[in-house]
Structure formats: C-alpha cells, structure tokens
Chain A
Amino acid sequence: MSPLGFLRKNQQEVEERENADRGFLVFENTSEVIQAENLLKKRGWEIRVMGPPPEIRKGCDLVIEFSLIEELKVTKVLQDAGIPPLQAVPVTSPLLQPVDLFKIKDFGRHLMVQAANMKLTVDKESLTIVNISGGGCPDVPYLAEQMVGKPLGEAPSPREIGHTLCGYALQLAYEEMKRRCSQS
C-alpha cells in the first residue's frame, strides 16, 4: 500500500471509531423520517438525517443517525408516537443484530436469566425480583433500584423507564424471565 493509501485507511479507521457510539434508524418512508426527525429534535436529541449505507437494504433512502446507546429510549418515544423504526443498527456495523442468546442458571429457590451483559434473578416462590447485576450504562443502577424487591408482574419494565442498550438487554432478560415463570 502506498503511504497515501495507508494514511487514508488510517483516517477512515479514526472516523469509524469516532462514530462507534452512533446508530441508524431505518424507516419505511421519508414522511416517517421527517416526523421522527422533528420529534427527536424537539425532545433534545442530537440527530441528523442522511443517506443509508449500502449494507442497509430495508426502508427508504433516508436514515436518521442517533446516539446508539440510547436506543431503548429513542425507539420507545418513536413507538409511542406511532412512527416505530423498521430497524435500529450500529453505524459501524449495520448488519449486527441484538443479542438473542439467554443463559439460565437455576439456584434452587432462585432463577437467574442473563441476556448479553445483564442478569435478572427472581425468587421462584414469590416471583419477586431479588437482584439485578451486570451492565455498565448509568440506567442500570436506577433500573435495579426501581425493580428489585418488587413482584415480576408489578415491577416497571426496563422498556418503560430505561434508556440505554444495557436497559434493552435487561428488557430481554425480563421478558424471558416472565415467559419462563408463566410456564411454571
């Protein structure tokens, strides 16, 4: 590779890394993009409308770039407004999918479900959430404070009060736990 080519590659890598905390919201049509743009800007999020990368094959010819970490809150706001995105994907790797593997650990009286980096544990007899562990975004300690000690059916869901991708992972663990507990 020529020195110029090397510099260009380096520059490209730096730019990609700078965007690593950004995501794309993909919509069915441009009218939804415009509505979503107005709503998100009004709510104070830093976003921009742009053309989609070639990897994204769904949706219209515009996407919204947003703070990927806040995917849970942003998609909830859009859903509540009746303009849910078709997809929310990382800018740096638009083909990546959210985690879909669960790890289950049975402690006897307690059951733990893990989704990605989040773990939710309930007392199998009372169905009370007894612990939440893992994660690293600032809504995790908040979600734990709001959910621990409450029955699974009465605790607020992470989707309602969470904001981040860690909150999203906890939502998946919470849904899986509810599914398992409803079967037993």
Chain B
Amino acid sequence: MLAVVGTVPDRDVPLLAGKVTLENGDICVQGRRVSVKRGTPALLAAAVKVGEALGQEKPFGYLVGDIGRGDGSQKLYQYLVQHLKQTDFHTICFHYLQPIVGWHNRIQSIIKKMIPKPILIADAGSMYVAKMSGRSEAYDLFTPDIGELAFLADELAPHPFYTRGFLLHEENHVPDLIARAYANGNAPQYLLVKGRKDYLANKQGIQAIIDNPLEEAMEAIGGTGDTLTGIVAVLIASGIDIREAAITAAKLNRLAGVYARPTPATQVMEIIKCIPEALKILMKECKWKTGKVHD
C-alpha cells in the first residue's frame, strides 16, 4: 500500500490518518474534505485516480493543516515517530512538510528498522530536509524540478533559496547537475527531474529522457509536479519497478496535460480529470498491463 505524508493549507485541519478517496473533486480522509488546488492534495488526487483505474488499494494519507508556521508539520512528525513502526507500507511518499532536520532524522531512524524497508519517495519540503540532513541516499526516488535539482547539486545550499547563481544559469546542463548531486551524495537511488524534458537518472547517469508530448503551459501550472509524484508513487506501490514506473508516470502526466488543453491559467484539477483517459492510451503500450483499466 502507498502512504502519503503531507500538509494542507488550512490551519483548522486536524491531524488526519486514513484511506483517501476522491469525491466531487475533493479528497476525503476520515470524513474531512480538502479541496484540490496544488500540493499534497493534488498528489493524492492523482494517486487516487491512477489507483482506481488500475484497481489498486486506496492510498493512506497522513495529513495536517499547516500554513508555513511548522506547527502542523511538527504534530505530524511526532505522530509518525509514534505510529510508523506499526505499519507495513510498501511505499511511503513524503511531501509538503516544514523541513526540520531533527524530526526528519528521527523518522529515518525508525524507517531504517522497518522490515521490509518501505520504498521511500520524497518531493517538496521533504526532499529539502532529506538533502539538508545529508540523508538523501536513504531514499529511493526524488522528483525535483530543475531549480530544485540545482539545489541538490549545490553542496552548500540548505534550501533552494540559497542555491548559488552559477548552478542556476541556463548553461548548466541537467546532466552536469545530476552528476554533481550524485558526486556529493545528495541524490537518492533514482532522480526523476521534471521539466520541459523529464529525466530519469541514477548514479550511472541519465537512464531515460521523456520529452513527448509537450505542453509548454504545464510549467506555469501549480500542482503539475505534485501530480507526477503522485502517479509515480502509486505505480511503484503497485509493484512496478522504479525505473519503469518513473518513465510511465512522466508519459502519463504529460499526456493528461495534453488532454486538458491547458493555458498557463489552467488549474491542476483540470489535468487530474484527464488522467484516466491518458492512462487508457498508455496501458495499450505498457509492458506492465496487468488487467483491465477501470472506468
């Protein structure tokens, strides 16, 4: 089963832990509805859509309200420290959380003792704190955009806000940044770098480039990176290996984007709605088709 850990932008949302459904465009956990605009709700909505289509179990969500003060994140970290060891998730995806090194490291210590060890994915604040704490290599997959890749490549920067300019220049090619991130121990087993071209890489270098189809407007739309992370997470949790799941997720996210016919003003839910249609097309060409795609 997939577990997703993240925050929602509403201070009044208490800590929620339960299976996630999608109802009339909102995600629902423990009877609480949260609208899907970007961030962890967008990740979960995409994961639910793909999971439903593949007949997978619903993802388990650990969510809490946090608007940047870190109070909700701290509650969630504390809850995970107490409860994670009793779980047996196949894959855990850490997402929008206030980056706090001490809490992150406590959770990693617990996960290290879990048998079998879950597959670990991090994006957003959880990816920042993984790099900050020097523990990127404990993860299986990060999903940075190119700006965040430059941050991973910068061995000094504690946050993307402090990434040094020479790493952010256009002339810095993605392959060089990937190599630098691995050389400094700041990358996990796999990197799925999202952008105009999506790159799948590991320590040996770039393994695949996915650049088709291309919708230029996707870059401006908040949440399109979150949907990619949600899709790859649910595919991995379904048993597909990371490499194949990442390539398929990149294609699926792009195709759903095309079907939504987006402009830079499009909101991410319009793209999420197109995931089942895009998945049907992809299933025809994927090796891992295991059964019927559910409508």
A residues 15-64 in Cβ contact with B at 8 Å: 17-21
Given contacts A116-B168, A133-B225, 18 further A-B contacts (CB under 8 A): A17-B132, A17-B134, A67-B70, A73-B69, A96-B164, A99-B168, A100-B165, A101-B169, A105-B220, A107-B264, A116-B163, A136-B124, A136-B126, A138-B66, A140-B68, A165-B161, A166-B161, A169-B161
Distance to closest chain B CB from A39 (angstroms):
16
Interface residue? B213 (CB, 8 A):
no
29 pairs, A vs B, C-beta closer than 8 Å: A17-B134, A20-B101, A20-B158, A21-B132, A21-B158, A67-B100, A69-B159, A93-B158, A99-B168, A101-B168, A109-B263, A109-B264, A116-B147, A116-B160, A117-B161, A121-B265, A130-B265, A131-B265, A131-B267, A136-B99, A138-B66, A138-B96, A139-B9, A139-B67, A141-B40, A144-B222, A145-B37, A165-B160, A169-B160
Alpha-carbon distance A112/B220, docked complex (angstroms): 7
**How would residues 192 to 232 of chain B score, 1 for a CB under 8 Å from any chain A CB and 0 otherwise?**
00000000000000000000000011011111110000000
Residues of A within 8 A of B223 (CB): 133
Interface residue? A151 (CB, 8 A):
no
Q: A93-B158, A99-B161, A110-B264 are in contact. Are A141 and B99 (CB under 8 A)?
A: no
Interface size on B, residues (CB 8 A): 64
Residues of B within 8 A of A90 (CB): 158-159, 162
- Is there an interface contact between A105 and B265, defined as CB atoms closer than 8 Å? no
Residues of B within 8 A of A136 (CB): 96, 99, 123-128, 148, 160
Q: A119-B220, A131-B222, A133-B219 are in contact. Are A138 and B161 (CB under 8 A)?
A: no
Residues of B within 8 A of A144 (CB): 9, 37-38, 222
- Is there an interface contact between A96 and B156, defined as CB atoms closer than 8 Å? yes
Alpha-carbon distance A123/B129, docked complex (angstroms): 34
Distance to closest chain B CB from A44 (angstroms):
9
Residues of B within 8 A of A97 (CB): 162
Residues of A within 8 A of B39 (CB): 140-141
Alpha-carbon distance A114/B196, docked complex (angstroms): 15
- Closest B residue to A167 by CB, please name it: B68
**How would residues 167 to 179 of chain A score, 1 for a CB under 8 Å from any chain B CB and 0 otherwise?**
1110000000000
Interface residue? A152 (CB, 8 A):
no
Alpha-carbon distance A103/B209, docked complex (angstroms): 23
Q: A130-B265, A131-B221, A133-B38 are in contact. Are A138 and B67 (CB under 8 A)?
A: yes
Residues of B that sit less than 8 Å from A by CB: 7-9, 37-41, 66-70, 72-73, 96-102, 105, 123-129, 132-134, 145, 147-148, 151, 156-165, 168-170, 216-217, 219-225, 263-267
Alpha-carbon distance A134/B149, docked complex (angstroms): 12
Residues of A within 8 A of B9 (CB): 138-139, 141-142, 144-145
Distance to closest chain A CB from B196 (angstroms):
10
The 7 closest A-B pairs by CB, nearest first: A139-B68, A136-B124, A163-B68, A142-B9, A141-B39, A130-B265, A117-B160
Residues of A that sit less than 8 Å from B by CB: 13, 17-21, 67-70, 73, 90, 92-93, 96-101, 103, 105, 107, 109-110, 112, 114, 116-117, 119, 121, 123, 130-145, 148, 162-169
- Closest B residue to A21 by CB, please name it: B101
Distance to closest chain B CB from A151 (angstroms):
14
- Is there an interface contact between A141 and B8, defined as CB atoms closer than 8 Å? yes
Residues of A within 8 A of B169 (CB): 101
